[in-house]
Amino acid sequence: MHPDANSPSHRIARVAAHLNPSRAQMEEGTGSGLRPAACRAKGGAPGFKVAVLGAAGGIGQSLSLLMKMNPLVSVLHLYDVVNTPGVTADVSHMDTSAVVRGFLGPQQLEAALTGMDLVIIPAGLPRKPGMTRDDLFNKNAGIVRALCEGVAKSCPNAIVNLISNPVNSTVPIAAEVFKRAGTYSPKRLLGVTTLDVARANTFVAEVLGVDPREVNVPVVGGHAGITILPLLSQVSPPCSFTPDEISYLTTRIQNGGTEVVEAKAGAGSATLSMAFAAAKFADACLRGMRGDAGVVECSYVASEVTELPFFATKVRLGRGGAEEIFPLGPLNDFERAGLEKAKKELSESIQKGVSFMNK
Ligand SMILES: NC(=O)C1=CN([C@@H]2O[C@H](COP(=O)(O)OP(=O)(O)OC[C@H]3O[C@@H](n4cnc5c(N)ncnc54)[C@H](O)[C@@H]3O)[C@@H](O)[C@H]2O)C=CC1
Ligand SMILES: O=C([O-])CC(=O)C(=O)O
């Protein structure tokens, strides 16, 4: 090191270079929060390395903020095809310990993913009023395939939290990508259905007149319309509902996404509640990866609970991802009928994802 390298003027120059990475540096991957080796502000407490793919989007920005607040995260990589320099500069000013780095465009995907422990994927188009989640398939299938190919290449052992819709089909697509790359571990691929549980907890708590934080509703099946199956007979703490309440709650939980899409009237779908749900699920994954006992969340995973290859139920999260998949438990007649309808639609969505990869 030059004898003056630690002089006040040199230190200021170093920090300034870090704070204002030029767009050219960002495009070369030399800026974007990559800290100069001699910079004192190393951050980086022990913890996990997490990447958000689609970090400049409606979900991605709030999710990046929430992951920067998570003390289990030591390094946070923000990747998108647009606007990551701004989001990265912004989030990096939060005085929490995670070191934030931004990555822009496919030529930086490899750098964004190398060394990551957990990859969260909210990249892709959201719905507009009148669309189903399946209407997003044509655009989002290719995005998910390309990003998962990047995961297989650069961080094959990372746990993946997949948010991009239609989740019922994008998770099977991701599984096929990993199988082809020879990196597939069913335990490490988790479709995020936490927002269905958050909505179910909220709406049930409203009906019961209690704090939603005290309520836990298992939601099984998948993540679209009738495939979203709240098990109101298994609510914790135990409670009972009238037939009208069951009908109202089931419909509202299944249509929660559409309720937001219509209220936003063309400006997108759930982003804030989704970022909250994704951050909650990612935190549960990180606690499991750390070795905490008894971390259980609902998730859409490879499963033998039904005859379908993928299904959402409660799973126990551990060091390797979904370590244990819990059975459905006792269902009442209403839930059994709902399950049969859900399975029919789910089966088609799974097949659609697999066929996309076999084209
Ligand atoms: N699983 C769930 O419960 C939920 C899933 N979603 C889904 O999440 C996805 C994202 O939603 P929003 O954030 O509202 O959309 P958005 O349009 O606000 O953001 C999407 C971001 O993805 C980026 N992107 C597009 N192609 C990309 C690529 N190849 N690589 C990296 N980034 C790319 C875009 O540039 C954009 O910044 C949608 O598919 C939506 O349907 C939304 C809510 C709930
Ligand atoms: O409804 C949508 O399109 C977004 C979504 O998956 C949800 O909010 O549950």
d(CA 51, CA 163) in angstroms, rounded, equals: 13
Per-residue pLDDT tens digits for 179-219: 999 999 999 999 999 999 999 999 999 999 999 999 999 99
- Give CA 137 to chain center in angstroms: 18
Query: Can you point out the beta strands (E) in 186-309?
Result: 189-191, 219-221, 228-230, 296-302
| pLDDT tens sequence across 107-129 | 999 999 999 999 999 999 999 99
Q: Given the CA of residue 273, which atom of ligand 2 is nearest to it?
A: 8
Q: 27 in helix, strand or coil?
A: helix
Alpha helices (runs of H) in 3-70, residue ranges in sequence order: 8-19, 23-28, 58-68
CA–CA separation, 208 and 224 (whole Å): 25
Gap between the Cα atoms of 21 and 231, Å rounded: 50
Ligand 2 shell residues, CB under 6 Å: 126-127, 133, 165, 195, 256-257, 260-261, 269-270, 274
Which atom of ligand 2 lies closest to the CA of 199? 9
Ligand 1 touching residue 167 (CB < 6 A): yes
* Residues assigned a catalytic role: 223
Q: Whose CA is nearest to atom 3 of ligand 2?
A: 127
CA–centroid distance, residue 257 to ligand 2 (Å): 4
CB of 104 within 8 A of CB of 26? yes
To test the pocket of ligand 2, the residue of 264, 271, 274 to mutate (highest count of ligand atoms within 8 Å of its CB) is 274
pLDDT(3) > 80: no
| CA–centroid distance, residue 340 to ligand 1 (Å) | 30
Cα-to-centroid distance, 42 and ligand 1 (Å): 31
236-283 pLDDT, tens digit each = 999 999 999 999 999 999 999 999 999 999 999 999 999 999 999 999
Ligand 2, atom nearest to 167 Cα: 6
pLDDT at 77: 98
Whose Cα sits closest to atom 21 in ligand 1? Answer: 57
Nearest CA to ligand 1 atom 2: 163
| Packing angle of the helix pair 194-208, 243-254 (nearest 10 deg) | 150
Q: What is the pLDDT of residues 86-107, one digit of tens each?
A: 999 999 999 999 999 999 999 9
DSSP for 285-314?
HHHHHHT-S--EEEEEEE-SSSSSSEEEEE
What's the length of the chain? 359
CA distance 237 to 7: 62
Helix (H) or strand (E) holding 192: none
Whether residue 56 has its Cβ less than 6 Å from ligand 1: yes
Interface ipTM above 0.90? yes
Question: What separation in angstroms does the CA of 144 have from each of 135, 176, 302?
Answer: 15, 11, 17
Which structure tokens are listed for 240?
Answer: 């009972």
Q: What are phi and psi of 206, to 5 degrees?
A: -60, -45
- One DSSP character per residue, 80-114 reads ESS-HHHHHHHHHTS-SS-EEEEEESGGGHHHHHT
User: Which atom from ligand 1 is nearest to the alpha carbon of 195?
Assistant: 3
141-187 pLDDT, tens digit per residue, is: 999 999 999 999 999 999 999 999 999 999 999 999 999 999 999 99
